[in-house]
Chains A and B, each alone.
Chain A
Amino acid sequence: MMKKLLFTLVTLSLLFACCFAASAYENEAWYGEQNAGKVINVFNWGEYISDTYEDGMLDVNKEFEKLTGIHVNYVTFESNEDMYAKIKNGGASYDIIIPSDYMIERMAKEGLLQQFDPNELPNYHYIDRKYLNMYYDPDNSYSVPYNVGMVGLIYNTKMVDETPTSWKIMWDEKYAGKILMIDNPRDAFAIPQKILGYSFNSTDEKELADVAQMLIDQKPLLQSYVMDEVFNKMESGEAAMVPYYVGDYMIMHDVNPDLAFVYPEEGVNIFVDAMCIPKSAKNIDAAKMYINFLLDPEIALTNAWYIGYASPNTSVLESEDYEEMAQNQFLYPDEEHMPNVEYFHNLPQETLTRFSQLWNEIKLAGGTNVRVYVGFGVTAFVIVAYLSYTAVQKRRREKWYDFRSSK
């Protein structure tokens, strides 16, 4: 009797241990506890990590804290350029950043990134080989791919009658006041560049000027330049179309099913966002743990669900829970649906300077308003009239006093 009970207990506890192990992460022992209590600073794009336990997803940062005892200080940025400015000027120290391809190329060249050997990471083997040895990091010594995405045109089928096939629809006066444009120079320039048949990585002065001119021409038709507020504006039906990232379309489509997506025929930008460790990182061991954790099949799956971009993680594509998403032709287009794609490359300094000059000019264009001059004129007139009036009054009063005192 006693033996039987013991046996049952042992079986139960074994079973429990098995269940526990199955639901936990791979190579838990690898993480160890030597970094518990430390802090890791993570700098990532907005809406770019799963942060909820709803619908069977996981809060990735909380899970990481539970597993390792390292506290995650999570901060977001809006564009590669914003992130670069912060790192470059040394204002802040982060342990993990997730820039895009061309920015990794630039930062590595400028010595802003920490070199490390990703083969140390037990989960590294999950990365799809086709995203390794990329042009921006030929030796895989700076970065580990996080997400892959493309830019396409998101449009509201209730507001756009036709099915757009070309970027040119963004210059169609029919949709004036309903068009949104992406608010960072590289992505905004990319659209006229493809319409005009130029490369994204063109350094030709005349080509850049043509592109800027097209954007200036487009300005009167625009409702707004947007980044993260695009969600609100597209989901509510405030705007009809915007060029934006595919993963964000997946999120918006869940909220507003009237939204549709297309890769225009002229060509689109494809990008890889990858995890890097900046030179200024304070806690490199913890940073490596964080990268490895994001590669874990469980975590990569929850992220792929939540963020809605294509995952470079082979375990995600093999997962049964992900089957439906893996069939999605926007995320994982087969050869037939594959649009014309081009990567952004890092550009020489003169071209970058030219980019920001032109971007300034685009932002300044059309700002003049006659009413402002009229307003200033009227105000100046009132001021002068008032001052002379008081001066005259004062003189008169003084005369009056003089007159009185002389009497």
Chain B
Amino acid sequence: MKNSLTKKIVAAPYLLWAAIFIIVPLIFVVYYSLVDANGSFSLDSIRSIGKYSDIMLNSIWLGFVATIISLLIAYPLAYIMARTTKNMQRTMMMLVMLPMWMNLLIRTYSLMILLQDTGIINSLLGAIHLPGANHLQFHMINTRGAVILGMVYNYIPYMILPLYSIMAKIDYGLIEAAQDLGASKLQVLRKIILPLSLPGIASGFTMVFVPSVSTFYISKKLGGSTFSLIGDIIEMQFKSANNYNLGAALSLILMVLILICMAIMNRFTGDDDDGGVLI
């Protein structure tokens, strides 16, 4: 009895926080997406979503590609990190966290200046006179590649951190046992490390995928006018177009789509009932 009361008191601050900053805003989003500008019930905003299906697919795809690239880069790094000396681990962790001490907007803006046709990279390339490169060296800015680079660059720490913390917990004895029993390196990876690190992959995937899909600043600065992402369109509804209803409807649909993607993802990392999914 006393125990449960303490539990309630300890949990209260976060519950209050969640109610004010998560539940209430969500209710607002649902409310705004279901009314028109005058506040009466209407499905117009939801119905007009069809027009935006292309841009939504585009955003989800770019977010997905960025997440997969982050995973491919972060996975080996996290493994190596987890297996080095404590001192080295601290240093590497520091290096991973270091860019996050700077604001995302500043990081993205500087990336824009780096990638421009007259930017630092191209000026350097111009200065060393690469053979056959007398005109523009690399056109990087305002391409899909630049947007994906921006997403990977900004969100990769969120992939490395959960992977690292899971990998550090893997019992090295299991790996040694597998090796003793004659498993090849690939088999160790497939049958031991990968299954044990699945929870890390799942949370890393969520933490990179969700902000990538809904980003607006990165695509605006690095993507130019060539294409907008759904985040740009939502931002526009709230900032300049002053159409909260459409903005809320778009956000709602985006949330549902992300939930569906996460559900598919969970199918892979599936917890208990599905034991050896990755055999």
Residues of A within 8 A of B (CB): 79, 81-82, 84-85, 88, 181, 184-185, 219, 222-225, 229, 232-233, 236-238, 356, 359-360, 363-364, 366-369, 372-373, 375-376, 379, 383, 386-387, 390, 393
Contacts and interface: CB of A to CB of B under 8 A. Distances in A.
Contacts of A364: 51-52, 54-55, 228, 233
Contact of A390 (B232, B241, B242, B279): B279
Contacts of B54: 364, 367-368
Contacts, number: 89
B225 A375 contact: no
Nearest to A219: B225
Contacts of B242: 81, 84-85, 88, 356
Nearest to A363: B228
Going nearest first, the 6 A-B pairs with the smallest beta carbon separation are A224-B224, A356-B241, A81-B240, A222-B225, A372-B61, A225-B225
B118 interface: yes
B277 A390 contact: yes
B267 interface: yes
Given A85-B239, A185-B240, A238 B117 contact: yes
B65 interface: yes
Contacts of B240: 79, 81-82, 85, 184-185, 356, 359
A367 B55 contact: yes
A387 B267 contact: yes
Interface in B118-163: 118-119, 142, 144
Nearest to A84: B242
Contacts of B142: 223-224
Interface of B: 51-52, 54-55, 57-58, 61, 64-65, 109, 112-113, 116-119, 142, 144, 221, 224-228, 232-233, 236, 238-243, 264, 267-268, 277-279
Contacts of A222: 224-225
A190 to B, nearest CB: 15
Contact of B58 (A184, A225, A369): A369
A369 B243 CA distance: 27
Given A81-B242, A84-B242, A85-B238, A232 B57 contact: no
Nearest to B65: A375
B12 to A, nearest CB: 28
A366 B223 CA distance: 13
Contacts of A372: 57-58, 61
Report which residue of A237, A364, A386 has the largest number of chain B beta carbons within 10 angstroms of its beta carbon.
Answer: A364
Contacts of B227: 366-367, 369
Given A85-B239, A223-B142, 4 more contacts: A238-B119, A359-B241, A360-B241, A390-B278
A229 B221 contact: yes
Given A224-B142, A376-B57, A383 B225 contact: no
Nearest to A85: B242
Contacts of A373: 57
Nearest to A82: B239
A102 B276 CA distance: 66
A6 B159 CA distance: 79
Given A81-B240, A356-B240, A383 B264 contact: yes
A215 B48 CA distance: 22
A85 B267 CA distance: 42
Contacts of A85: 238-240, 242
